[in-house]
Amino acid sequence: MKGHYVLELPTFLVGAATRVAAQSEIVALNNHQILVLARDGNGHGLANPVSAYRSIQIHDFSEATNLVGTSYETTATPVAPNGILVAGVAAGTSTVLVDINDAVQLAKFGLNNGPVDNDNTLSEKWEALAM
């Protein structure tokens, strides 16, 4: 995949506050799709072992605007001033492929997402994907 595209980062709620999930890994699948590992950073070993967000997303850029050669690529012109994407620029689409925090699926393997913090609680940092 070659180009510069806008990727909307996933958000989640912690109480009344909206947070943005960290992007730990990106893997290209083909010339228009990527996998993204997104997480909140909570898990085993932290004061709060319950993760609010941890997923693998598939992002598709086949209908997104390629910013190569535009002022958004070559200057300090923001593509989303104040968090609002400028008119005429389309971001890639995203779908959750795997919800890593799915309690039913975790239980099948003897794992958990808290609130009990033990050796079977998912760790806070997930940093890599492999195909």
Residue 15, pLDDT score:
87
Residue 35 has pLDDT above 80, yes or no: yes
Residue 128 has pLDDT above 90, yes or no: no
Domain count, the chain: 1
Assigned domain for 127 exists: no
Assigned domain for 2 exists: no
Range of the domain at 95: 11-108
Question: For the segment 71-115, what is each residue's pLDDT rounded down to a tens digit?
Answer: 998 888 999 999 899 999 999 999 999 999 999 999 999 999 988
Assigned domain for 4 exists: no
29: Cα separation from own chain's centroid = 16
pTM of this structure: 0.84
Assigned domain for 99 exists: yes
Residue 45, pLDDT score:
83
Instruction: Kindly report which listed range (25-29, 43-47, 69-73, 98-102) carries the lowest average pLDDT score.
Output: 43-47
Residue 102, pLDDT score:
95
Residue 81, pLDDT score:
94
Token readout for 26 is 């990106």
DSSP strand pairing (11-14 vs 22-28)? unpaired
Mean pLDDT of 117-129: 85
Q: Where are the beta strands (DSSP E) in 10-125?
A: 11-14, 17-20, 22-28, 33-39, 54-60, 93-99
Assigned domain for 122 exists: no
Q: What average pLDDT is seen over the chain?
A: 91
Assigned domain for 115 exists: no
Secondary structure (DSSP) of 100-121: TT-HHHHHHTT-B-SSS-STTB
Assigned domain for 113 exists: no
Residue 16 has pLDDT above 90, yes or no: yes
